[in-house]
Amino acid sequence: MRALRIILIVAVILGGLFVIADRVAVGFAEDEAADRLKANEGLASTPDVSIEGFPFLTQVVGGELDDVKIGIKDYEATTGNANASDGTIRIDDLNAEMHGVEFSGDYSSATAGSATGTATIAYAELLEVAKSDATQVAPGVTVEVVSLSDGGDGKIKVSLKVSVGSAEVTRSVSVLSSVTVVGGDTVRVHADSLPELGVDLAEDQVREGIDFEQKIDQLPGGIQLDKVEAAADGVDISVKGSDVRLVG
């Protein structure tokens, strides 16, 4: 009985030491992964990296991590848009969960089998890079998108300034627009109906001034846009990807 008690005590101690060693190892791995991801993606700040699952050490032996969560603040994504002064658009929060992360023996490369996540772009940021000048939709008639906001039910409220005639008589109107993802890298804002501008114009002429698209590419590891919806402070985007390269 005494021998059994001793065995149990030793087992508990060894188990506790294993847990401590496992947590120390995962903490070191998370810090190392964050530093490498920062360097690999050219990030301004160090991202948050959380390696899920227990025990960590047995995952290392197997050469694959179950899940890795990554959080990046103020990520600068490429727009490919001449309207953007520096060719980038700021994503306030980019959070991704990587599944089935395989890594090399020297940890110089890591690739996730699949990834899902979310991102948020403020309305002011989207407006700044997508629309900059008034658009002439007919002789003497210009339309300018002046603000974007939450229109409810997943719609964007697009506020417009309309100028008519040489006297530049202006008035404000607004439309509700649907927002969708096109081709995995572009956000499209399309008015559900056309505003009353006070003059008769063809639909394609009016849409030239009120509809727009914004390309957002070169997200970390090659993840792509999946779905987008208008929210209180900006557009909420779902992202996804496969064979996502995190390092190397």
Q: Does the reported pTM lie above 0.75?
A: yes
Find tokens 């603040």 and name the residue: 73
Q: Is residue 141 part of a domain?
A: yes
Q: Report pLDDT for 21.
A: 64
What is the block-wise mean pLDDT of the chain (248 residues), using blocks of 10 residues? 45 48 72 82 84 78 82 83 64 89 73 90 87 76 87 90 72 87 91 77 79 85 90 92 79
Q: What is the pLDDT of residue 88?
A: 83
Examine residue 17 and state whether it is found in any structural domain, yes or no.
no
Three-state SS letters, 108-130: CCEEEEEEEEEEEEEHHHHHHHH
241 domain-assigned: yes
Give the chain's radius of gyration (CA, Å): 25
Q: Which two tokens stand for residue 86?
A: 């520096």
In a domain? residue 211: yes
Instruction: Give a yes or no: residue 36 inside a domain.
Output: no
In a domain, 23, yes or no: no
| Token pair of 122 as six digits | 């403020």
Cβ-contact 12, 4 below 8 angstroms? no
Asked if residue 140 is part of any domain, the answer here is: yes
* Predicted pLDDT at 155: 93
Whether residue 88 contacts residue 78, with contact meaning beta carbons closer than 8 Å, is answered with: yes
What domain range is 94 assigned to? 59-248
Looking at the 3D structure of the chain, how many domains does it have?
1
pLDDT score recorded for residue 14: 42
165 in a domain, yes or no? yes
